Amino acid sequence: MRLATWNVNSIRTRVARTVEFAVREHIDVLAMQEIKCRPDQFPYGPFEDAGYEVHAHGLDQWNGVAIVSRMPVTDVQLAFPGMPGFAKGVEGPDQPQEARAMSALIDGVRVWSLYVPNGRALGDPHYAYKLDWLAALRTHVEDELTRRPGLPMALVGDFNIAPTAADNGDPAVVEGFSTHVSGPERDAFRALEEAGLSDVVRPLVPTGFTYWDYKRLRFPRNEGMRIDFILGSSALADAVTGASIHRNERKGEIPSDHVPVVVDLDLAGEDDEDVPMIFG
């Protein structure tokens, strides 16, 4: 399986280049974030013509996630247990959930397409929501992997966190003053790893950003951030045979401000002696 994640920043605006990328790079499963449309507005035709089954989850012109696959898709879920909601100016536990999470079972792999809340600013209610959202996700991951320790699980998407100083090259994003690089956010990322996940791209692609702001010539200056990840359970990590960050997708006409991240998986099983166990 070739699995990719991409914050497309409006699928209706970028459907042609998204499908072209998926076909050219032989992507089997593509998880998208920020589709910015309702399911009835999603451009199904180009994906279906290319052989993909489409599952989309969006509520309005903001947020939204999707999974398209050339393999059979089952058990689609639109939220993880305990996922909090958010509404500006509203407090309490019954706030409406946003379209930020979707999962499906594909060839035995539980794939989650995730668009983690931005946080907006330190001290903003959205920042507290982001930390609560990540805490609930961590609880779900821990519970799921405790119940099914051999499950190949992939949490992929835009995490809106640069977990180390090396992941931040944007001079406007300053530790102690900005979201994405604050201690609590980085602690929340590490908590996901402590729950049984690992970054399966970093060991194979140790450098490179996945996001560059449209403003202030950030891309030509390579002042970006690495905030898009593929995190895998141990069973998923053991199946990884390759990884790549497709920087060139930030070039050309009307690019997203994010680029795709891809991993190759060999899910043949433990009896296949030819599979390199690079995360063992």
**Can you tell me whether residue 261 is helix, strand or coil?**
strand
CA–CA gap between residue 57 and residue 46 (Å, rounded): 18
110 in a structural domain: yes
275 in a structural domain: no
185 in a structural domain: yes
19 in a structural domain: yes
35 in a structural domain: yes
pTM, to two decimals = 0.94
DSSP 19: H
66 in a structural domain: yes
Longest dimension (CA), the chain: 56
| Number of residues that make up the chain | 280
Tell me which residue range forms the domain holding 240: 2-265
Residues 94-127, buried b or exposed e (16+ Cβ, 10 A)?
eeeebbbbbbbbbbebbbbbbbbbbbeeeeebbb
41 in a structural domain: yes
User: Are the C-beta atoms of 56 and 41 separated by less than 8 Å?
Assistant: no
Domain count, the chain: 1
| CATH number, residue 126 | 3.60.10.10
11 in a structural domain: yes
pLDDT digits (tens), the chain, 280 positions: 999 999 999 999 999 999 999 999 999 999 999 999 999 999 999 999 999 999 999 998 899 999 999 999 999 999 999 999 999 888 877 899 999 999 999 999 999 999 999 999 999 999 999 999 999 999 999 999 999 999 999 999 999 999 999 999 999 999 999 999 999 999 999 999 999 999 999 999 999 999 999 999 999 999 999 999 999 999 999 999 999 999 999 999 999 999 999 999 999 854 444 444 444 4
The amino acid occupying position 21 is F
User: Are the C-beta atoms of 29 and 104 separated by less than 8 Å?
Assistant: no
